Structure 1
Amino acid sequence: MRFRNMPLPEDELRVILRAADDIIAEGGRTLLAKILKGSKDRKLLDLGLERNPSYGFYRDLTLEQIMAKVDHMIRTGFLEIEKQGKLPMIVFSSRGWAIERERRAEEFLQEWDRGMENNIIPISMEYLKERNRGMIFLFLYKILCSGNKKYIPYLTLWERIDFKNVRAEIRNVIEALKQRGQLEDPDWEQLKRERAKTLLIRSRDPIIMVCRKCDNPFIFDETNPDYYTAEGLKFPELCPRCSINGQSA
């Protein structure tokens, strides 16, 4: 599927994706719209979905208006419908998951920051276990990019309980943070790029974009660290060829 422009403002797009995250492959369009509406529907409350950060974001819109936004997200390739038995369920597209994965990783980082500011020592890091591997590694990449040793105590606690492959990456990030003060900026940037090779993982399906200049499709490279900014994941508007030609013009 080809994508030209984000059909909704970025803040709305992220809100809808966050609402969808709690019901992926378990709920459909109507349940997603009810979360965004802030519905008091019994099923929604029984599932604890009123705790979703996007709950009630569109409380001033009708359910039909919200459904139209959800359908627009599907038409433009950020969400998809997948049959579970006979029931149509909401799932992320590769592009939608790339955005939501980055947002969830940022949420975890902010959660750690709040805990550290309040001198809270986590009782357990089990909540990070069994999470999507791509999202967890992106979380580690964000910690690495901070260059801040303050995360080492939390990382050490996490390292004790996770699986072998994740523990190895946590250890690599800890060692990198310990080295930060001894490295010049160019060496630090090189180290981050080396770690990005294992921490930035491609989604199962490629993300196909359409170049704003030449209209040709191209594959978005999720492993390029340049696309991960302080403001979130940024998609390129130009294909690699047009981008290079623009730089040389």
Structure 2
Amino acid sequence: MLELELRAILRAADDIIAEGGRTLLSKILKGSKEQKLLELGLDQNPSYGFYSGLSLDQIMVKVDQMIDTGFLEVEMRGKLPMIVFSSRGWAVERERRAEEFLQEWDRWIENNIIPISMEYLKGRNRELVFLFLYKILCSGNQKYIPYLTQWENIDFKKVQAEIRKVIELLKQLDELENPEWERLKRERAKSLLIRTSDPIIMACQQCGTPFLFDETNPDYYTSEGLRFPERCSNCLEKV
């Protein structure tokens, strides 16, 4: 499955996690005009209609591939099977959502929009908002400081503390040499890049040995998104 498809399916799933099953997910990707789907506002999902040219059965096959390859899981909620993220799937989607937040801020800044409130960020998944902060820090752009200040004023103490540290580092950027800036970024990564609740186990494509994926390693976060390593550390050392 292409990476573009993988990310589209995960984004579609994000709006119905633990609240919808395989069929509803497939209908979002199909672009269904079903009344219930429209009433839930699922036609506003960025992946709505991604597979408009495929049949529902064909889309269901792709959803099942995501389950078989460990990006999505099915859990019983009462008597109903619901779609949930696996740790691996959430790691990918978390990065995608953080990037969406950053792009949204870029659009607002470009159009001189001052948000009425930052309440939409308050209480969000901690792993997600900290990754968003890490992306802002890595941008090295002070244009985000007014938004960060507005956000800091309304969030919980632990998030406020991390926002404040990012603001302080961005303000210091002009005074720092590049090696020092890179060191400070990696230092902040220790707080801002958080592991998912369950470990992500990968299989080395060279030797087949299972190994743990370290989500706290900033080297895996690229401009193209989260990059999973293909080989274990032992095989990498042999190169």
Which category describes the TM-score, using the shorter chain as reference length? over 0.9
3-state SS, counterpart of residue 61 of structure 1 = coil
Letter in 2 for 1:219: L
The residue identity in structure 1 corresponding to 2:156 is: F
Aligned twin of 1:103? 96
1:201 to 161, 180, 194: 194
SS of equivalent residue, structure 1 residue 89: strand
CA distance in 1, matches of 2:52, 2:140: 40
Query: Aligned pair 1:86/2:56, yes or no?
Result: no
Secondary structure class of the residue paired with 1:58? coil
- For the pair 1:116 / 2:116, whether they are aligned, the reply is no
Alpha-carbon distance in structure 1 between the residues aligned to 2:44 and 2:226: 25
Letter in 2 for 1:41: E
Aligned to 1:172: 165
Q: Which runs of 5+ in 2 are unaligned?
A: none
Moved over 3 A (4+): none
CA offset at residue 46 of structure 1? 1.0
User: 1:201 is matched by which residue type in structure 2?
Assistant: I
Deviation readout 1:5-35 (Å, 9 max, x if unpaired): xxx1000000000000000000000000000
The alpha-carbon deviation at position 170 of structure 1 amounts to: 0.1
Q: Which residue of 2 aligns with 1:222?
A: 215
1:131 and 2:124 correspond: yes
% identity of equivalent residues:
76
Residue deviations 1:145-188 (CA, integer Å, cap 9, x gap): 01111000000000000000000000000000011111111000
Q: Alignment partner for residue 41 of structure 2, among 48, 51, 67?
A: 48
What's the TM-score once normalised by structure 1's chain length? 0.95
Which of 135, 139, 143 matches 1:150? Answer: 143
Amino acid at match of 1:113: D
2:3 paired residue among 10, 20, 37: 10
State the secondary structure of the residue aligned to 1:137. Answer: helix
Aligned length: 239
Distance 2:224 2:173 in 1: 23
Counterparts of 1:244 and 1:233, CA distance in 2: 22
How many angstroms apart in 2 are the aligned matches of 1:121 and 1:24? 31
Partner residue, 1:31 = 24
Q: What CA distance in whole angstroms lies between the structure 2 residues aligned with 1:212 and 1:180?
A: 40
Return the offset for 1:219. 0.3
Q: Secondary structure at the match of 1:244?
A: helix
Structure 1 residue 211, shift from structure 2 partner: 0.5
Structure 2 distance, partners of 1:80, 1:201, is 21
Instruction: Provide the C-alpha distance between the structure 2 equivalents of 1:119 and 1:244, rounded to a whole number of angstroms.
Output: 49
Which has the bigger relative contact order, CA under 8 A and spacing at least 6? 1
